[in-house]
Amino acid sequence: KFRQVFPGKNITGHVLDLGCGPADISIRFARAWPECHIDGVDGARAMLHEGEVAVKRSGLQQRIKLIHGVIPDLDLQEKKYQVILSNSLLHHLHNPGVLWQCLRKLATEDTSVFIMDLMRPLSEQEAAMLVNTYCGNEPDILRRDFYNSLCAAFSPSEVKLQLEDAELQGLVVEIITDRHLLMHGNIINA
């Protein structure tokens, strides 16, 4: 999807993956753009441990650096990034403004921003239907986690308000599936 949103974009600089978890996206991105270097940040040490194992197995440890940290209080060697990615982090944040604050701090006008997250359904019944559709045969704990994540997610209009409050002009909020939002674009300084 990144290539569709940013066609022809050549990634040769530093990439930030916020909420990288077990580094799956960091690894896929590094393979897709072999000249970039990725800083993957996550607040969960257990996830980073899984990520370190995966990065080592992939042979990309020279290009992917995993960092324990919590936004917005990150101490990163790179102060600006060519790309900032995030997948399924926003709905976990008690204060979503910290994600947008982090973007303002670490992005330039040339930074490509690509943030995907769940979209809150219109009702509890719709959330239950999505759970049945996408993880109907999974264990109860996974079904419950998915349901709770859907209910914790934001609506497109809420995300648009968050972006307005953070003065992040230039980012588009797009519904891309029946359960996902994508926020993408470049930061435009007001």
Closest to 170 measured CA to CA, from 95, 115, 97: 115
Predicted structure pTM score: 0.93
Per-residue pLDDT of the chain (190 residues; tens, 9 = 90+): 899 999 989 999 999 999 999 999 999 999 999 999 999 999 999 999 999 999 999 999 999 999 999 988 888 878 899 999 999 999 999 899 999 999 989 998 889 999 999 999 999 999 999 999 999 899 999 999 999 999 999 999 999 999 999 998 889 999 999 999 999 999 875 4
Extended beta strands in 33-155, E state: 37-42, 64-68, 81-87, 107-118
Query: 107, 34, 6, 23: which is closest to 67 by C-alpha?
Result: 23
Phi and psi at residue 50, to the nearest 5°: -60, -40
